[in-house]
Amino acid sequence: MSPLPSRVRAILADSRIELPPAAQDDLRNGRIHDSVLTAMRQLAGTYRMYVGVVRSGHPLDVFGTSRPSDHPRGRAFDVWQIDGHAVVEPATPRSLIERFMRDAAAAGSYHVGGPVHL
């Protein structure tokens, strides 16, 4: 087995990025696009985030549509909690969600979805 790239090792070791086991395996197996790795690292510089899914376990299509999802291609990740606040919880400050979404776009994410429209 070849050694993990340094950017993957950095994400797996970063206490500000919580990944479920399937997402950790996705990273270890090299199935994640560099743009996702870059965005995760940049966002972790400002936020503590809990990732729900990267590639494995996500449907082929965007939920509720017939549009192909970027997840199965390793080009997306879903965050369910930011700085201890659940993304879909009504009590989570909208300003936190909007700032995170804008920062994700600035980090190179070309499609940023969330509970609010920017």
**Would you state the pLDDT for residue 114?**
82
**Would you state the pLDDT for residue 39?**
94
**Would you state the pLDDT for residue 118?**
79
- What distance in Å separates the CA atoms of residue 59 and residue 8, rounded to the nearest whole number? 24
In terms of pLDDT, which residue wins out, 76 or 92?
92
- What distance in Å separates the CA atoms of residue 36 and residue 32, rounded to the nearest whole number? 7
Q: Once rounded to an integer, what is the mean pLDDT over residues 92-96?
A: 96
End-to-end CA gap in the chain:
43
**Would you state the pLDDT for residue 71?**
66
**Would you state the pLDDT for residue 61?**
60
In terms of pLDDT, which residue wins out, 18 or 72?
18
**Would you state the pLDDT for residue 31?**
82
- What distance in Å separates the CA atoms of residue 42 and residue 107, rounded to the nearest whole number? 6
Q: Which of 44, 41, 48 is nearest to 27 (CA)?
A: 41
- What distance in Å separates the CA atoms of residue 114 and residue 9, rounded to the nearest whole number? 28
Model confidence at 112: pLDDT above 90: no
Which of the four pLDDT bands, split at 50, 70 and 90, describes residue 59? Answer: low
Which of the four pLDDT bands, split at 50, 70 and 90, describes residue 106? Answer: very high
In terms of pLDDT, which residue wins out, 2 or 30?
30
The angle, 0 to 180 degrees and rounded to 10, between the axes of the packed helices 94-106 and 34-44 is 130
